[in-house]
Amino acid sequence: MADAFRRGRAFLVGDAARAVTPLGAFGLNTGVADAHNLAWKLAMVPAGQAADRLLDSYHQGRHAVAELVTRQALLRWENPRMHWDPTAVAERRAAGAWNAPMVTMGYRYASSAVIDPVVELPSTEDLTVSLDGAPGSRLPHRWPAGGTVSTLDLNRSRFAVPAGATGEDWRGAARAVAATLGMDLDAVVLDEQVASSLNLANDEALLVRPDGFIAWRTRGTADPARLEQVLAAVTGRQGRPAPSQVGCSRADRPSVIRAEPAVVAGAADVEVQELGQRGAAVPEAQQVDVDECQPVFGGEAAGGLGEDA
């Protein structure tokens, strides 16, 4: 496995980043998930909607998942029954193995692109139980009452704000923030049954990333300023917000980094050492100091936190 999945404008994806034993077919699934994690970030940064540090979150998130998947694949290589036998729950638990659907869809991210993540899994066997609406987890499929569109399609490859049954005010908050930040953002009011299945109170809301992972859960009513602050933190425009943080005014915020990232995918024989040598010759993006207006929490300035774990 490569030590780094990003070096400057180069990104390692799929087999270029790691080798996975074949039992379980985790290699292909993980490679596709790499691209899924990276694509929206590569789109937002050059468009000026996110800072360069959002791209750092690709390594921070996917490297941790790659370590998990590699370990899970090796456990199955040693004892294939843990993969093929759905009743081998006790064996998997004793060995530290997860049920296969959990390996490909049940992992969670914990990073600057997720606010207050809930890392601990409710189950390593039951995907339905684990997709519970917690920050850092994948938004689960639900059919809203009277609708023909799954919750998986509500964000349409952009940020979205699913709100509880009485969260109509989140629509206005999302429109206001979209206008301020120049982003495509919309809120969708869920019916009570779907909201309850996501552990979402009627006036609460989630912020869902373009890749379908939950970036934030509010525990209060609609608040445009707070939503703007959270989006700025998730996209790397400023540090992670704290509940008591006032935040910087828009006039004080530093300019957005505009980068021209490039993807390196494939060529599984590219070694980390070789990548490092190439990296020295790869021009870095023209960067603006993003630390001029850092929020403060716990008495210290908040720097860019790592992405997904």
Cα-to-chain-centroid distance, residue 14: 17
Of 163, 173, 176, 172, the C-alpha closest to 218 is 163
What tens digit of pLDDT does each residue of 58-100 get? Answer: 998 999 999 999 999 999 999 999 999 999 999 999 999 999 9
169 contact partners, CB below 8 Å, separation of at least 6: 203, 221, 222
The token pair at 37 is: 């994690």
- What does the alpha-carbon distance between residue 257 and residue 196 come to, in Å, rounded to a whole number? 39
> Once rounded to an integer, what is the mean pLDDT over residues 2-30?
93
Least confident range of 110-119, 162-171, 173-182: 110-119
What tens digit of pLDDT does each residue of 255-287 get? Answer: 222 233 334 343 333 322 223 333 333 333 333
Amino acid 239: pLDDT: 58
List the 10-13 sheet strands across, edge first: 6-7, 10-13, 264-265
- What does the alpha-carbon distance between residue 171 and residue 183 come to, in Å, rounded to a whole number? 14
> Once rounded to an integer, what is the mean pLDDT over residues 7-28?
93
Higher-confidence residue of 248 and 35: namely 35
pLDDT at 1 over 80: yes
- What does the alpha-carbon distance between residue 155 and residue 162 come to, in Å, rounded to a whole number? 9
As a whole number of Å, the CA-based R_g of the chain is 20
Residue 16 DSSP class: G
What tens digit of pLDDT does each residue of 28-51 get? Answer: 999 999 999 999 999 999 999 999
Is pTM beyond 0.85? Reply is no
